[in-house]
Structure 1
Amino acid sequence: MATEAYEKQAMKERQLTNKVPWKIKMRPFLILSPAFLLTIGILIPFGMAIYFSLTNYSFKYAEYMFVGLENWIAMFSSPSFWHSVGVTLSYAGLATLIETLLGIGIALLLNRENMLARSLRIVLIFPLVIAPVIATIIWQLMTNNSVGIYSDWLRQLGITNFNWGADPSTALITVLIIDAWVFTPFVTILVLAGLRSLPKAPFESAMIDGGSAWFTFKNLTLPMIMPMLIIAVLFRLMLSLQMFDIIFALTRGGPGDTLMTLPLTAYTEAFTYKELGVSLPFMLILYLFVYFLSHFIVKYWTYTQNKASGK
């Protein structure tokens, strides 16, 4: 009897399923279609990049031919490639570290309920709405040795040989300052959002027990905002590895090859020397850097989430 009842119930469910209008059946496919189209839009250029990296495709000639791994071998044997890798990783690491530390510090200062903190939280948004290229042009004017206000301030302090982006020894510092000015507010906003969402009870207990400010930050604040902080680091590291506009607008990779990152080297090979097949391996290597670093960061983020939830 139980088997017959089960079969009748299953038959009724199948009949109801068959009566579902086709528009309702198509809803899951319609929901997934934007993601599917986006995936195709990403995979097609990516596949073409891999293919053309195995050719001698050039903007100077109409014909091209398959050359296998020749471009890749030439890239790995080139000193300019390893120099670009070093510059890219140094720039990304320093920019992310500086902006993370500044973002945490500023967020802690602004995590207060007074008129000054509320006003500064609004002003904090302004650098984010300025295009990095425009910000770079503004900083070029401010650091100009003739009319720049910063150069004038340095001269008043007795520093007369600081040439900002025009000197190989100070070019990296200059672009890091501009990058920090533009993107530190992004880290600050994420960290501040994490701070504002923290429960008050643990901090009140720590205050009653006589815990110092450093003890509270180290053992309560930092572990609790760690997931938000990792997200900020992930985004800033990914974008810093791909940084092009600030460096290009300021020095075009100079002086000399001081700031020739992987994106700038690929751009130079493709649009200055017209060798697209030679430039594409640089961008594909950059993709691998971004992918693997972001993969490890996301794994660590998952670990911190599980640890915070007690799993």
Structure 2
Amino acid sequence: MQVEHKRGKFVQADSTTLLSNEEIKIPFLRKMRPYIILSPAFLLTIGILIPFGMAIYYSFTNFSFKYAVYNWIGLENYISMFKDPEFWHSVKVTIMYAGLATVIETVLGVIIALLLNRESVIAKSLRIVLIFPLVIAPVIATLIWQLMTNNSVGILSKWLRMVGVDNFTWGADPKTALFTVLVIDAWVFTPFVILLVLAGLRSLPKAPFESAMIDGGSAWFTFKNLTLPMIMPMLLIAVLFRLMASLQMFDIIFALTRGGPGNTLMTLPLTAYTEAFTYKELGYSLPYMLILWAFVYLISHYMVKYWSHTQKKASGK
């Protein structure tokens, strides 16, 4: 191929010499595109792994805020933790709290979502009102409930007196402390389940339900055989999120009772916090959080696998 030289002469040129700088850059940018897209995720992963790795390292030391130096002690923190009755008590409280909170919020969320799955004015208004607890910080919600349950000025205590229940102890008694934090947790986070289930209900096809109505299927039959299997993937997402958050619950319990009365509500996160910031033993507190992480990871791993299986089943695959 001949091209004109700047002095007016024609010279032989290869086709590659005609590519502009922009054309040369395009293949390079295409090759770099995946790395550019993944770079934020890569940086985020590094930001997560560094403190996680440091936590694992310090869990094998006697690191304490009380002393300037620390030593490597191997598995001593883990052995001491497993021998400590407080650890097993915190495991019991954590599982009990997470299990009850998840079940209560799931059941209430499904029932309320079914009631709100209508086009009436009341249903539309309640959909907006029920979102309000979600935008309130759990600590602020706990303070609100502390005022409402106060035996002197609390409106709930006044209502209970009207039905003959006087001086209900709420979070001040070991017998009612768990009940109190579960009520607050349900008030704050049940709307999250409602929104997910309601979104699933609104996306369901109408044809199967119309056929069931024509065939004379009852409301329970329709819910059991049509509604529940079809919204199960969405329901499992709600259960997964609420179970993971409940296992790590800290703010509501800490704001209400700080793990009390006594050690009634000392979950794994609260026990780890107490060991680290009250007793200044960071090295001993980290195994609590790492055990909780392992527990959360295993549960979420198997729940995600079950969710994938349920989603395929719901789609007929």
Instruction: Give the shorter-chain TM-score range.
Output: over 0.9
In the alignment, what sits opposite 1:218?
224
Among 178, 191, 194, the alignment partner of 1:188 is 194
Q: Considering only CA atoms, is the larger Rg found in Structure 1 or Structure 2?
A: 2
In the alignment, what sits opposite 1:263?
269
In the alignment, what sits opposite 1:249?
255
The CA deviation at 1:21 is: 3.5
Q: Is the 8 A contact 2:151 2:167 kept in 1?
A: no
In the alignment, what sits opposite 1:11?
none
In the alignment, what sits opposite 2:204?
198
Q: How does 1:124-203 map to 2 (within 5 A)?
A: 124-203=130-209
Cα distance in 2 for residues equivalent to 1:20 and 1:156: 77
- Corresponding letter in the other structure for 2:93: V
Q: How does 1:1-311 map to 2 (within 5 A)?
A: 20-311=26-317
The CA deviation at 1:18 is: 8.1
Cα distance in 1 for residues equivalent to 2:179 and 2:140: 19
The CA deviation at 1:66 is: 0.2
Cα distance in 1 for residues equivalent to 2:25 and 2:195: 51
Cα distance in 1 for residues equivalent to 2:122 and 2:192: 20
Cα distance in 2 for residues equivalent to 1:304 and 1:24: 38
Cα distance in 1 for residues equivalent to 2:305 and 2:92: 25
**TM-score, normalising length from structure 2?**
0.92
Q: Is the 8 A contact 2:91 2:267 kept in 1?
A: yes
Q: 1:248 to 1:19 in 2, by over 3 A?
A: closer
- The aligned length equals 297
The CA deviation at 1:19 is: 7.4
Q: Secondary structure at the match of 2:174?
A: coil
The CA deviation at 1:226 is: 0.1
- Corresponding letter in the other structure for 2:116: L
- Corresponding letter in the other structure for 1:158: G
**5+ residue gaps, structure 1:** 1-16
- Corresponding letter in the other structure for 1:137: L
The CA deviation at 1:229 is: 0.1
Deviation per residue, 1:64-85 (Å, 9 max, x gap): 0000000000000000000000
**TM-score, normalising length from structure 1?**
0.93
The CA deviation at 1:22 is: 2.0
The CA deviation at 1:152 is: 1.2
Q: Is the 8 A contact 2:106 2:193 kept in 1?
A: yes
- Corresponding letter in the other structure for 2:165: I
Q: 1:31 to 1:150 in 2, by over 3 A?
A: same
| Identical aligned residues as a percent | 80
Q: Secondary structure at the match of 1:293?
A: helix
Q: 1:161 to 1:147 in 2, by over 3 A?
A: closer
Q: Secondary structure at the match of 1:21?
A: helix
Q: Calculate the aligned-residue CA RMSD, in Å.
A: 1.5
Deviation per residue, 1:239-261 (Å, 9 max, x gap): 00000000000000000000000
